[in-house]
Every structure is written in C-alpha cells, then in structure tokens.
Structure 1
C-alpha cells in the first residue's frame, strides 16, 4: 500500500481480517470479555458466552426462542447460584454488546460480532441443536 494513492477493497478486507480480527485485534477487544467475568461472576459469564456466541453464529441475532431455550438450558445446569438470564441480557445491553432487535437482540457493532464469532464460534453448537434435559 506504500506509495499508492488509493486503498482497494482487498486492502480493507486484508487489514480487517488480518489485523482487526487477528492477534492485534484480540488484544484490543479482550477487555470486553474481561469485564463480563468481573461483573457477572463465573456462572453469569458462562451464560453470557453462550448468549453472545449464539447471536454471533446465527446471523447476529439472538431470537426470543433461543433466549427461552437458553433459560431452560441454564436452569438445567447444576449451578449453585444461577444468574437470571434477564440480568445477563441487561449487562450485555448496558455494556454495548447487544441491543433490542425485533423480538430478540442483535449485536450493536459488526466488528464486535465478527470478533466474537472468530474467537468463540468455531466449535459452538446453537441451542436449537442441543438436547436439553429438564430437571424435575
């Protein structure tokens, strides 16, 4: 790019994918994830990871159906002090991850969505594909 007067679409894609979503970008955006651990504690943090990754791998949208399914999934986990899903969603909205969209939530930032998908989405199984056993 040195000595050129223009930037091509390929240049932008290379910088976005290689720098912003790469190792350098990981360090710049890592503080978002660290704050979740601090604010929500271990159980709430795990729940937030699931909700955000669901949105990231499902076209950027966390639907009401997925939220309800995750509610049942979280309640079925053996957690001593569960964090209510509405509390987790409030933190995710307050901290600028998600915003209300239709009957669910979507990422506020396309960069954050892409970064989250690159960081957590590879082996993630969406909630609709999980077997959830309800506790009696």
Structure 2
C-alpha cells in the first residue's frame, strides 16, 4: 500500500511517509511486548495473592499495600499518579508501559520468596526500593 501512495510524491512527503511507517512498526512491537508481559504477569498474580494470604504478618490491606509498593518501585511514581493514567475500574497493571510491566513482573518475582520467608513489610520495601533504582536488566529473573 505504501508503494501506491509513494508515487508522484515529493521527497519531503516520501520522508514523512517512511517515518510514519517506521513509527507504526515500533508501536506494533511495543504493543506485542506489552501483551506478552501482561500475559506473564497474569500467570504470577495468583502466586503473589497466595504468598500474601499465607504471609505470617498478613492483614486486610496487605495485598493492596504490596501492589501499591510494586507499582511505585516499577514506575518511580506514586500509585495515584499511575492510576490517573486511566479510567476508574481499569486494573492498574493495564496502565503500565511494556517496560514498567516487565520491571513490575520481576519485582513481584522477588517479593514472593521474601513473603514465603516471613520477612517484615519494611524489610521487603527496602529490598524492592534497592532494586528499583537499578536498571530492569539487573533484577533477578
């Protein structure tokens, strides 16, 4: 289709169309990455829920607190700022970028064993914040 619209165009128009096609390809790759990361995140959600439920220091707000902490560490933004990206009722993880979702998933994988070992919330928070300032590539897989 690009070839048909390519004919009889000036050089600036051709450059613009080429840049537009490249940008669409980049967006397509980003969306595909996000879809893969979201599917992987859904698979580990039950593990986090179970770990929080079985945690010796659990309370009625523990699940929410850990999700907010993970969001803050993955994005660098408070939970409310991330929540402001979308409408009410949209799951928070659906509002993360592909890169943030990847970091969220890795941080969540770090939290689950810490909960299983019975670590205190503040100790887990310090550990997550330590890894949050590092690049996502340095997080445990």
TM-score by length of 2: 0.32
Q: Between Structure 1 and Structure 2, which shows a larger proportion of helix residues?
A: 2
Between Structure 1 and Structure 2, whose CA radius of gyration is higher?
2
TM-score for both structures, normalised by structure 1? 0.33
